[in-house]
Amino acid sequence: MKNFIIPIDFSSDSLKGLEVAVLFSKRLHVNIQMVYVQKSSEDYHPGSMEEEHKFAESRFKEIIANYENKLGNDSKLRYIIKKGKIYQEIVNQAESYNNSIIAASTHGASGFEDFFIGSNAIKIISATGKPVITIRKGNCPTDIKKIIVPIKMNVDTRQKIPWAMEVAELFGAEIHLIAISTSTNKKDLARIKAYQSQSADFIAKRKIPVVAKQLFGDSLSTLVTNYATAVNADLLVIGSNRFNGSSKPMGGYVQEILNTSPVPVLCITPGEKHVPVGFHVGSK
């Protein structure tokens, strides 16, 4: 999380991604790079690519003037203006760094709303192995003290844990491990509980406060978002349920959470982060 890539279209909503990056700058040195991909906006009509470029430069200078003094730990705020498909240029910029994370609002002008909301939100996450934080309209926290990590039945479910731990240690947060299931099958429930128990023990060894809950219902995404609301969570960490480089759409669970979560969602690609020795992600 040394380099934050922030898609910007100059709407107030798109600045939510920048606010998340600023929040992390209070805890460690980060390089923040705002990215604008040239595309006509509903709010202005430059008339040419050159005029649009000048407009973007002017707006970026205003943003830097407003946000630079909010940064901590000698963090840096820069911008770049690109041309092409929005999602692909954002992904390309993130991929140009070894340690990067994308933080983007799910609302905005210039087509960002169409791009991020619904099935299109899956597109950027599917196109990169980098972690992605999405922020719904008006849901940027001022601190991170409660992190929700859903535990499901699939083996990859525990690969989120090291990321959640990293953020928890950074902010002094507690982690809520919620085992979620729509099944009442004893074998399934035992497997999920075993994953949860192993994860809880691993977190506790790092002296990170951990809360473990079991939730059952007809909709996994509803279980997660309702719990996040009930405990006033600040961040939700989920897995993308696919391998690096896959262009196949993800399931409804991920899409529904991205569209309804009351808090920012950190989406992790299985296999993206090395799991420490002693945490047997692949064990049954």
Segment 236-284, tens digit of pLDDT = 999 875 444 444 445 588 888 988 899 999 999 876 444 443 444 443 3
Strand order from edge to edge, sheet including 76-82: 76-82, 31-37, 3-7, 100-105, 132-135, 265-268, 235-239, 146-151, 174-181, 210-216
Rounded to a whole number of angstroms, the CA Rg of the chain reads 19
Cα–Cα distance list, 6 to 44, 45, 183 (Å): 21, 23, 39
pLDDT at residue 111 in the model: 52
Tell me, what's the pLDDT at 121? 60
Q: How far apart are CA 214 and CA 112, in angstroms?
A: 36
**Confidence at residue 204, expressed as pLDDT on a 0 to 100 scale:** 96
Q: What is the mean pLDDT of residues 119-142?
A: 81
pLDDT at 10 over 70: yes
CB 119 within 8 A of CB 249: yes
Residue 200 above 50 pLDDT? Answer: yes
Taken in order of first residue, the domains within the chain and their CATH numbers are: 3-135 (3.40.50.620), 146-237+246-263 (3.40.50.620)
Tell me how far apart the alpha carbons of residues 191 and 284 are, in angstroms, rounded to a whole number.
Answer: 8
pLDDT (average), residues 216-226: 94
Going 168 to 142 to 120 to 62, the CA torsion angle's sign is negative
Q: Residue 215 — pLDDT band, cuts 50, 70, 90? A: very high
132 SS3 class: strand
- DSSP state for residue 79 in the 8-state scheme: E
Two tokens, residue 74? 């000698």
State whether residue 46 is helix, strand or coil: coil
Q: What is the pLDDT of residue 272?
A: 45
Give the pLDDT score at 12.
85
Which of 284, 2, 275, 265 is closest to 136 using CA atoms? 265
Q: What is the pLDDT of residue 255?
A: 82
What mean pLDDT, rounded, does the chain reach? 85
Residue 237 CA to residue 81 CA, distance in Å, equals 30
| Residue 248: per-residue pLDDT | 43
Dihedral over alpha carbons 130, 230, 192, 125 (to 10 degrees): -20
Strand partners, 176: 148, 211
**What is the distance between the terminal CA atoms of the chain, rounded to a whole angstrom?**
30
**77: nearest Cα among 53, 103, 52, 95:** 103
The whole-number pLDDT of residue 253 equals 86
Q: How confident is the model at residue 127 (pLDDT cuts 50, 70, 90)?
A: confident
